Copies of this chain bind each other. A is one copy, B any other.
Amino acid sequence: MNAAVDERIDADFETSLDDLFELLAQPSISATDEGVAECTALVENACREYGFDDVKTVETPGQPSVIAHARAEDPDAVPTVLLYGHYDVQPVEADLWETPPFEPTIREGPDGTDRIYARGAGDNKGQWFSHLCAVRALREAGSLPVNVTLLVEGEEESSSPNLEWVVETHAHELAADLTYAADGPIDPSGRPHVLMGARGMLYVQIDAEGPNRDLHSGNFGGPVPNPAWELVRLLGSMKDENGRIAIDGFYDDVRGITDRDREVLADIPFDAAAMRSDLGIDGFADGPGESPLEKLLYYPTLNVPGFGSGYTGEGSKTIIPSTASVKIDMRLVADQDPDDILTRFRDHVERHASGTVDLDVISHGSMTPQRTSLDSPVIAPILDAVGETWDNDPILKPSLGGSLPTYVFENHLGTPCVVVPYANADEDNHSPNENLAVERFRTGIHTTAHVLTNLERSL
């Protein structure tokens, strides 16, 4: 790594901060369209100012994406890295903010360090804007070591409904050797993460309708079917006595755990006792997975985020409720296919239904899981770059427990995908007083520069 690049980054840092503030001051709420058009213009403009050669906005049926290219001096001689981010932000409850969400302000955070308070500071403007700053510094201090393509979408906070379409229809333009994203918070310990994938998701709801009105449980109880009980019975049929999901073929495509996976798992810091104490739980759930981390990173789940039926107030009310509804989210792992799982889920419900209650299975959306191989050659240079830049060793994680749309890049571009979060652990994204520590923004810029430099030599 050329020390001149780090110097350049620090020398330009006040300008970078000012330019980030301009972006943060611009509302860009995908859910309501507020400021989206103005923000895409700002993004385009920032790309041009920071030295990208080729910038355009791609309209979609929803919010537009911005695609920008910054080519190395000899583009054919070096790899191409696709950097993914999103300019859209979550809605705000302005009265819960100490300073207005779209008036970025630097003030001291809970740990005494300076923070940039603004909606989108950490999620995700401050993270992908690091990439622009790094690209400019690399060029100003020498030359861009790899070709960089930037894809900044505008619907991530609305589940990226058009990302797949954008990537598919622009696959040629977006072709790359690696997709890299800075998103999410670092580990609460202060150590950075390097994430090789994410679990997918399938979200369904079963609505059950029994009698056409609530009935007196004495006058009707016995012969009349209860829709809450129908759901209990159905759910009960979905796991065996060991907590293993009993939907036929549910685990068929699960990639499984190799020795290399186990090595990586063993290196992830995890304090089970601290987690139990923090969450106030008496133990961990059963089901497949030998350890809590295995369960979290390598196995799918079938979770009940909500169940509602009948009377749930104080005391007693003796009814057979007319309706019941359960929401179910299934976190999926590589190589499960949400469409296949949805079919299996529907088949299971059909096969196990009593026939006495009307059932309606509704899908609320899905995301395909993705996991980059732990043998991928991109891992070492990225770990090295992150390790060089931070004061702490990076933690390699085979997967995020949550979901990210990284499968889109693997499936349509064939790239490995790596996610390195730059934001502080207490960034409060999606919450009031979202913030990004000033030093995390600075470290982010250095990290991108180091990663791109390392990738030139390694890809």
Interface residues, chain A, with chain B CB atoms under 8 Å away: 199, 201, 203, 205, 210-213, 215-226, 228-229, 232-233, 235-236, 239, 275, 279-287, 289, 292-293, 295-296, 299, 301, 303-312, 315-321, 324-325, 327, 329, 331, 354-358, 364-365, 400-403
Contacts and interface: CB of A to CB of B under 8 A. Distances in A.
Given A222-B292, A292-B222, A305-B317, A311 B282 contact: no
A402 B220 CA distance: 8
A172 B305 CA distance: 58
B327 A222 contact: no
Contacts of A303: 217, 221, 226, 229, 320
Given A279-B212, A285-B356, A308-B308, A401 B225 contact: no
Given A282-B358, A312-B327, A232 B292 contact: no
A222 B331 contact: yes
Given A307-B307, A308-B308, A327-B311, A285 B321 contact: no
A401 B219 contact: yes
A233 B244 CA distance: 13
B356 A211 contact: no
A320 B307 contact: no
Contact of A223 (B218, B285, B311, B317): B285
Best-buried of A211, A218, A292, A324 by chain B (most CB within 10 Å): A218
Contacts of A304: 226, 228-229, 232, 309-310, 321
Contacts of A284: 223-225, 356
B312 A325 contact: yes
Contact of A364 (B306, B316, B403): B316
A421 B325 CA distance: 38
B356 A283 contact: yes
Given A280-B212, A356-B283, A358-B282, A223 B296 contact: yes
The 10 A-B residue pairs whose C-beta atoms are closest, nearest first, are A218-B402, A236-B236, A222-B295, A308-B312, A223-B292, A212-B280, A306-B310, A283-B356, A306-B311, A316-B364
A453 to B, nearest CB: 32
Contacts of A308: 307-309, 312
A281 B327 contact: no
A220 B401 contact: yes
Contact of A282 (B295, B310, B356): B356
A79 to B, nearest CB: 31
Contact of A329 (B229, B312, B316, B329): B316
A239 to B, nearest CB: 8
Contacts of A233: 236, 239
Best-buried of A233, A285, A317 by chain B (most CB within 10 Å): A285
B301 A221 contact: yes
B228 A307 contact: yes
Contacts of A236: 232-233, 235-236
B321 A305 contact: yes
Contacts of A210: 281
A285 B233 CA distance: 12
Given A222-B285, A223-B292, A224-B279, 13 more contacts: A201-B318, A212-B280, A216-B402, A219-B401, A221-B329, A222-B289, A222-B401, A223-B293, A236-B236, A304-B310, A306-B319, A310-B327, A315-B364
